[in-house]
Amino acid sequence: MYSWMEQLETMTMALVHQIEHSTEEDIVAFVQQREEHIDLLKNGTVNQAQLQEMRDQLSKLLAYDEIILGRMNEFKISAELGMHKTSTARKQKSAYESTILYDSLLFDTKK
């Protein structure tokens, strides 16, 4: 087995085991490293037997994608809630702040 395939398997398993404690940065780093490993696969020269072996291993690794995507969706929902709270706070703040400039004053006179 290729060393990059072993590295891909190792980092996938490490992320899956620590998924509840992983941060957005951890997942972004994982995705970037994974993309580099996939590029190595695309650019490498492999025969059919090696390709079949890799497909089996990659299909096992792809089974963990659902877990990783679930964690990514948790981050997405959290970010959406934060943006909604910020938007609501801005609306409430602007409702109380007067943005109208009064350039003139009117006086009522009694006749």
Give the Cβ contact number of residue 3 at 10 Å: 8
Range of the domain at 72: 65-95
Mean pLDDT of the chain: 84
Report residue 14's pLDDT band, with 50, 70 and 90 as the boundaries: very high
Q: Which two tokens stand for residue 83?
A: 């943006």
Instruction: Looking at the structure, tell me whether residues 40 and 80 fall in a common domain.
Output: no
**Is the pLDDT score of 27 beyond 60?**
yes
Shared-domain flag, residues 49 and 74:
no
Q: Averaged over 85-106, what is the pLDDT? A: 75
Asked whether the predicted pLDDT for residue 52 surpasses 90, the reply is no
pTM of full prediction above 0.95? no
Check whether residue 50 and residue 8 sit in a common domain: yes
